[in-house]
Chains A and B, each alone.
Chain A
Amino acid sequence: MKRIFAVALGILTAIGGFVDIGDLVTNAQVGARFGWSLSWAVIVGVIGICVFAEMSGRVAAVSGRATFDLVRERLGPRVGLLNLFGSMGVTLLTFIAEIGGVALALHLVVSVHQVLIVPFVAFVVWLILWRARFSVMENVLGLVGLALIVFAIALWQLGPDWSRLTDQMLTLDKPGDESWGPWIYYAVALFGAAMTPYEVFFFSSGGVEERWGPRDLRTMRLNVFIGFPLGGLLSLAIAGASATVFGPLDITVDSLGQVALPVAVALGKIGLAVAIVGFVAATLGAACETGLSVGYSVAQYFGWQWGKYVRPDVAARFHLTLAAVTVLATGVLLTSVDPILVTEMSVVFSAAALPLTYFPILVVANDPDYMGEHVNGRLANALGTVYLFVIGAAAVAAIPLLIWTRMGA
């Protein structure tokens, strides 16, 4: 019974933890402009994150090594350092976006300008990173994040033209009033939103924090293979709701309030309140995860003690890094940069930075020296190789597309 509960809890937190500010914004934007015609990108992204997370979770459980340990061991210190700069930059950008997202969500309630809310949010994030137990942080925020299921209910209540949506989903075509440039750009953005590098840093380091062993492989796989796809369905529901409300009116989404609007239309005030609770929990959870991920990567590269399973004074440099990045993120947001813009940038750069960590994990997951009998099987390697190409293509295309389409304009 206890075991079933643990598995269920893991799955639920995986669903709640899957959606972050990048998924919220990108899916709502894409839904409004392209309906479900880009849902293939979400599906490709979700399968990708399953493949990636399963490998890194398995490596963490069997060898006890988290992602950036392996990056340095397999790429050497020089390429590893370049990799650290790239991955950390993208994760930091996501961290900034998440803190901004929490501020935007609170702004919807209190109507105080989000820049004034940012220092408060940053303080709360730092407090959680410093004081809260790892499992409490992950479970509470993940479970409250499940409030976003309200989007699925809203979609059902809105009574969309299901045949039209499924038609868009099943055919590889764009809506008539859009061109192919933005279509492919948003495909890469959705892919980057579903497959952000920090999810894997967090997942593998979290496995080490929770002292996974080979015995926990089954639980880990259940969490990944059930939780993430259900999180992906939530993404599709956000896009579908947005498509139903904004699509016919040709409205583009550029604020978090608009993301929530379909829920308000379908379910009224109560629905809106639940959606905002979901926003706050999902973005706050992701803010903690991204903040920790920056600390994990730096500490793992240099070999410092890291993790929330030890007292902060035992992992002093790690906690100093967390405090420093929180201050840095606050500083960036206080320039009154639009958090939505930061989010859009972060998902595209995520797609660009993905091979940096995917490649070493794929190699180590095959290395009997680390993995013993738990090396990749045929299926993991077939999918792993296919995704090496998919991720490579998305990474190469991401930044040129960003420039060429002027961020999908």
Chain B
Amino acid sequence: MVVDDNRLGGELDAVLHLMDRQVVDVDGRAVCKVDDVELVETDAGALIVTGLLAGPAALVPRFGGRLGAWALERWRLLGLQWADRTEPYRIDLDDVERLGSAVELRRARRGLLVKQDRVDGGLRRRRLNELMWMRVHGEDGTELGNVIDVRVAPEGEPEAGAPVRVTGLVVGRGRPGSFLGYDRGPDQGPWLLNRLVRRVHRHSGLVGIEHVTRIDWEGERLTVSRSDLDDLTRAGAPSPPSPRAGPGRDTPPAR
């Protein structure tokens, strides 16, 4: 894994590698942060990463549950006369040149950010944050944990412009420290910190999107067709052949 790699060319974990990164324009000027990530739910039920969301309307709900809702309402009340106050700004994923330690865009920042439309050709727009912390249950009702990260990968051969799909969910118990990367990096030092955080996150695992049978966006509940989790590996690392590399991708979750 070299620093100069474009992460968007391969598999990545959206929270670990994309969320909260600095967005810079073609001249290297700061634009915004990746405050959230836009997902589109296709009619077949697949989830595709289509853009980056920015601005307080995207950031504030991420403060979580009641606090997020309260803060978003305060934000709206600060400017009641604006109809689109709670709509975030959006950057199309096609405008992204490269994803490294920052998100580098192809365009200059002047006039770059536009508000996200509510509907687009019958597609349902979701946010990554809506998926985060969703409770995950097995078919038989076993509680597997909460979504703590979302694994995505470009479809087919890694190349620019390929649609980036959600391929799996990282499920854990929602304990602190899941943004540090230790649960996915057994060799990341320092040793003591690694052991500690990995112990806290020993229940975390991966479930392929093909096993997701139902996503209840309103009830913040997600059902999968199995009762255990795959081992958590580093995104992009060569992993033993698993069902998610197989034909599962053609049978996306039904709603």
Which of B33, B63, B185 has the most chain A CB within a 10 Å cutoff? Answer: B33
B190 touching A381 by the CB < 8 A rule?
Answer: yes
Tell whether B254 is near chain A: CB-to-CB under 8 Å. Answer: no
Q: How far, in whole Å, are A329 and B63 apart by their CA atoms in the complex?
A: 30
> In the complex the two chains form, is B21's CB within 8 Å of A369's CB?
no
A207 to chain B, nearest CB (A): 14
Chain A residues with Cβ below 8 Å from B169 are: none
CA distance A367 to B31 in the complex (A): 25
Most chain A CB inside 10 Å of its own CB: which residue of B1, B3, B4, B32 = B3
In angstroms, Cα B30 to Cα A223, docked, is 29
Residues of A within 8 A of B64 (CB): 78
Complex CA gap A78/B179 in Å reads 12
Contact status A81-B63, CB under 8 Å: yes
Asked whether, in the complex, the Cβ of B3 is within 8 Å of the Cβ of A371, the reply is yes
The residue from A78, A310, A369, A384 contacting B29, defined by CB atoms under 8 A apart: A310
Which residues of A sit under 8 angstroms from B101, Cβ to Cβ? 63-65, 370
Q: With A69-B22, A75-B179, A77-B63 as given contacts, are A302 and B33 in contact (CB-CB < 8 Å)? A: yes
Cβ of A24 to closest chain B Cβ, rounded Å: 34
How far, in angstroms, from A362 to B19 measured CA to CA in the complex? Answer: 20
With a CB–CB cut-off of 8 A, which chain A residues contact B59? 77
Q: Which residue of A lies closest to B17 (CB)?
A: A369
Nearest Cβ on chain B to A154's Cβ, whole angstroms? 42
A72 near B1 with CB under 8 A, answer no
Q: Are A303 and B179 in contact (CB under 8 A)?
A: no
Q: Is A123 an interface residue (CB 8 A)?
A: no
Instruction: Label chain A's interface by main secondary structure.
Output: helix
B29 lies within 8 A of A366 (CB)? no
B3 to chain A: closest CB distance in Å? 4
Interface size on B, residues (CB 8 A): 37
Whether B54 sits at the interface, judged by CB under 8 Å, is yes
Q: Which residues of B contact A367 (CB under 8 A)?
A: 181, 185, 188
Chain B residue numbers with a CB within 8 Å of A175 are: none
CA distance A137 to B20 in the complex (A): 31
Number of interface residues of A (CB under 8 A): 39
- The distance in angstroms between the C-alpha atoms of A73 and B102, with both chains bound, is 11
From B33, which residue of chain A is reached at the shortest CB distance? Answer: A303
Contact of B190 with A376 in the complex, beta carbons under 8 Å:
yes
Q: How far is the CA of A306 from the CA of B22 in the complex (A)?
A: 12
Chain A residues near B2 (CB-CB < 8 A): 372
Encoded as 1 (CB less than 8 Å from any A CB) or 0, chain B from 175 to 190 comes to 0000111100100111
Instruction: Determine if B33 and A72 form an interchain contact, defined as CB atoms under 8 angstroms apart.
Output: yes
B8 within 8 A of A: no
User: B188: nearest residue on chain A (CB-CB)?
Assistant: A366
A299 to B23, CA, bound (A): 13
List the A side residues contacting B62 at CB < 8 Å.
76-78
Q: B-facing mask of A368-409, CB < 8 A → 1, else 0?
A: 111110011000011011001000000000000000000000
Known interface pairs A366-B189, A370-B101; A63-B179 also in contact (CB < 8 Å)? no
Inter-subunit contact A362/B29 (CB<8 Å)? no
- Nearest to A314 among chain B residues (CB) is B29
Apart from A63-B100, A366-B189, A368-B185: 5 A-B pairs, beta carbons within 8 A: A78-B67, A80-B20, A367-B181, A384-B190, A385-B190
30 interchain pairs, CB-CB under 8 A: A62-B3, A64-B101, A73-B21, A76-B20, A76-B62, A76-B179, A77-B62, A78-B62, A78-B64, A78-B67, A299-B30, A300-B22, A303-B23, A304-B30, A305-B29, A305-B30, A362-B193, A363-B180, A363-B181, A363-B193, A366-B190, A368-B185, A368-B188, A369-B1, A369-B16, A371-B3, A375-B189, A376-B190, A381-B189, A384-B190
Binding site for B on A (CB under 8 A): 62-65, 69, 72-78, 80-81, 299-300, 302-306, 310, 314, 362-363, 366-372, 375-376, 381-382, 384-385, 388
